[in-house]
Structure 1
Amino acid sequence: MNLPQFNDIWQETTNWQPSPDQQLLFDELYNKIIETNKYLNLTRITTPEEFWEKNLWDSLAPLMGYDLNNKKIIDIGTGGGFPGIPGAIAFNRGQFTLMDSTTKKINFIAQLAQDLNITNITTLVDRAETIGQEKAYRKQFDFALIRAVAETSVCLEYTLPLLKKNGTAILYRGNWTQEEEEKSKKIAHLLGGNIEKIVNQNTPLNNNIRHCIYVKKIGNTPKQYPREVGKPVKQPL
């Protein structure tokens, strides 16, 4: 089954469109997801148009203002592989680490990357609280992506410890309020970050509300963050 291409929408909304090879990979990705979804719950999104909008466009639109090629990127709580897999296809010289605590999902992504010959994906079964305190990952990434995982304060505590100085955390959100913005600015500052911009770009087919929060790492994250597993969610900053 082939996905709609919507090249005109890609161009109008992101100033980019996939090459024929990338479009073919998107089609293969969709087919693998649908096939695997029969026995492993990867996504509730199954129609071609919905998959294009919510898993491809929604993953990539927030990234298109940046060049992720030759950068190190981590996708935290990747689930079925979004936004990490579309990101790795679009920026095939970026080094993507896709991390999730669910082994079955990460095993699926590792196999899919092998099957589709996507060579710039590394997989990791772990928790953000754990790797944020490990030398191999702390302060190692240029970009940290986090989509639909938890409230903003938790996302900031998960992402900022992993970033190099001048790295960028990209937080994918739905609704966004002024109150949330004020609170998030303070938490970002505490963790060594600064909210650079907030972009509202709703989805192009169904006009679903989308906000993207871009947070620059400007200083060091205090050593006690991230806190131990479960604490950021149970006792948010």
Structure 2
Amino acid sequence: MERLAAGVRRLGLRLTPRQNEQFQLYYQDLVGWNRRLNLTAITDYEEVQVKHFLDSLTVVLALNQPLPDRMRLIDVGTGAGLPGIPLKIAFPDISLVLLEATRKKADFLRYIVQKLELEDVAVVVSRAEEIAHRPEYRQKFDLALSRAVANLTTLVELTLPFCTVGGRFIAQKKGDLEAEVQEARRATFIMGGQMVDVKKIELPELADERWLVVIDKVGETPPQYPRRPGVPAKRPLK
């Protein structure tokens, strides 16, 4: 994991031998399960270190400090566990919920959480539109994350309801974002959010354009949001 280690140092972090071992095991099982589950199109050893593991950890660039102990974090649409599991490896004392709608992917997540001996991690099989209305999840998290490819306006509706007032949502995005960010401003306001930064990731290991869209939760989300399953994607708020 030399490329990961080099990138992590640029983020101001250090990995212990145990954490390096966890990343190695994660890679092996990610590739192994991928043969039957299609978890990722990226399987090359060097590329996974950078484009999955290091990229997941770049969210620390949008925080004023490393993730504090007991921070409540939810990874919405986590897929193969990205960015949640790399962050849990690097910051073992956070409390993590991995939200994934596909049951087979959730099976992988439960397996890898047990394999890596990660504590205080819950794997929840549900859609964000449904679970965000449950009291035990609604406005209960300090930080919500998503690397999903969905439009930012859709992501805002799916994620901000999970954030407590004073919490933060960070979307990890790629490519030209100017129009997408502008289109998401009204939805951000409706959901009780305030867009505070669009931060470009500048690491030599990640040469393509990658961004962190940072939205703070400044007010309550109206009770009717998110709308029923599928609607935020089909009819984004305008």
Query: CA offset at residue 198 of structure 1?
Result: 1.0
Deviation at 1:209, TM superposition (A): 1.1
**Pick aligned residue for 2:43 from 33, 41, 46:** 46
Instruction: Give matches, 1:191-206, under 5 Å.
Output: 191-202=191-202, 204-205=204-205
2:235 aligns with 235
Q: Which residue of 2 aligns with 1:67?
A: 66
Describe how 1:1-237 pairs up with structure 2 within 5 A: 3-12=1-10, 14-64=11-61, 65=63, 66-68=65-67, 69-202=69-202, 204-205=204-205, 207-237=207-237
The offset of 1:181, in angstroms, is 2.5
Distance in 1 of aligned mates of 2:54 and 2:92: 17
| Aligned residue pairs, count | 234
Greater CA deviation, 77-86 or 197-206? 197-206
Question: Given the two structures, how large is their TM-score scaled by the length of structure 1?
Answer: 0.93
**Counterparts of 2:163 and 2:115 in 1: how far apart (Å)?**
30
Shift of 1:38: 1.9
Matches of 1:46 and 1:208 in 2, distance apart? Answer: 18
Distance 2:53 2:207 in 1: 15
Amino acid at match of 1:26: F
CA apart distance, 1:125: 0.2
Aligned counterparts of 2:13 and 2:144: Cα–Cα separation in 1 = 21
CA distance in 2, matches of 1:177, 1:119: 36
My pick for the range that moved more, 98-107 or 56-65, is 56-65
RMSD of Structure 2 on Structure 1 (CA): 1.5
Q: CA deviation at 1:120?
A: 2.6
CA contact (8 A) 1:77 1:149 kept: no
> Gaps (5+ residues) in structure 2?
none
Distance in 2 separating the partners of 1:139 and 1:177: 27
Q: Which amino acid aligns with 1:100?
A: E
Q: Following TM superposition, by how much is the alpha carbon of 1:8 offset from its aligned partner in structure 2, in angstroms?
A: 3.3
Q: Which amino acid aligns with 1:75?
A: D
Structure 1 range deviating more: 63-72 or 226-235: 63-72
> SS at the partner of 2:89?
helix
Q: How far did 1:116 drift? A: 1.6
For 2:6 and 2:80, locate their aligned partners in 1 and report how far apart those are by CA, in whole Å.
27
8 Å CA contact 1:138–1:161 kept in 2: the answer is: yes
Q: Percent sequence identity over matched residues?
A: 33
Q: Distance in 1 between matches of 2:82 and 2:5?
A: 20
Question: Structure 1 residues 135 and 116, CA, compared in 2 at 3 Å: closer, same or farther?
Answer: same
Deviation at 1:88, TM superposition (A): 0.9
Change in Cα spacing, 1:234 to 1:124, as seen in structure 2 (3 Å) is same
Which structure 1 residue ranges, 5 or more long, are not aligned? none
TM-score by length of structure 2 reads 0.93
- Preserved contact between residue 152 and residue 181 of structure 2 (Cα < 8 Å): no
In structure 1, what is the Cα distance between the partners aligned to 2:157 and 2:174?
19
